[in-house]
Amino acid sequence: MTRWLSDDERRAWRGYLDMNTQLSAQLHRQLQADSGLSLADFDVLVQLTDRAEPRMRVGELADALQWEKSRLSHHLARMNKRGLIAREDCPDDARSVFIVLTAKGKQAIEQAAPAHVDTVRDLVFDHLSAEEVAALAAISARVLGRLGRAGPEVAQ
């Protein structure tokens, strides 16, 4: 017997879905207009930036981003073509490939990041109380906990 959602739940769910859609659309527009990067590009570049070793194997990237390797492979090919990243042979393992940030990629992420953060503040955090920020973190943690435990299976 399926229980439908309560009114409050339905309201929250609809709000969440709409927020998602519009927020990511808006963040994408801003980033694209401001720096020519997509959100996906940005995420890749962030991974390559926030670490001591400037090189990263493709598999590491895939793990960090939680992307399918096929998606990543296609995306890296495009970013490579645009000169944002480059490939290097991996001496330890000839199957593997190092991905490195090019000067252009480094410049792109460094130029894009501040405006992106400003936008996130402007659209989200400037309007939330400390309690709401905490609630958002708690909610995410709960749901992610469930998703992690659940794996790819489906509600009974």
Partner DNA sequence: CCAAGGTAGGTGACATGTCAACCATTCCGG
Partner DNA sequence: CCGGAATGGTTGACATGTCACCTACCTTGG
Question: Which residues of the chain form contacts with a copy of itself (CB under 8 A)?
Answer: 2-5, 8-9, 11-13, 15-16, 18-24, 26, 29-30, 33-34, 66, 114-115, 117-125, 127-128, 130-147, 150, 152, 154-156
* Least separation in angstroms between CB 102 and a copy of itself: 24
Q: Assign residue 53 a region: left if phi > 0, alpha if psi is -120 to 50, beta otherwise?
A: beta
Partner from DNA, a copy of itself, none contacting 59, C-beta within 5 to 8 A by type: DNA
DSSP-based three-state secondary structure for 147:
helix
- Which residue number, 22 or 135, has a Cβ lying nearer to DNA? 22
CA distance 145 to 106: 34
* Least separation in angstroms between CB 127 and DNA: 24
The residues of the shown chain that bind DNA, judged by CB under 7 A, are 25, 29, 38, 40-41, 57-59, 62, 67-78, 87, 90, 93-97
DSSP string, 60-80: HHHHHHT--HHHHHHHHHHHH
* Least separation in angstroms between CB 9 and a copy of itself: 5
- Which residue number, 77 or 143, has a Cβ lying nearer to a copy of itself? 143
Strand 97-101 vs strand 55-57: parallel, antiparallel, or unpaired? antiparallel
Tokens describing residue 138: 């708690």
CA distance 98 to 54: 9
- Which residue number, 10 or 87, has a Cβ lying nearer to a copy of itself? 10
With b for 16 or more beta-carbon neighbours within 10 A and e for fewer, the 127-141 pattern comes to eeeeeeeeeeeeeee
- Which residue number, 50 or 92, has a Cβ lying nearer to a copy of itself? 50
- Which residue number, 29 or 142, has a Cβ lying nearer to DNA? 29
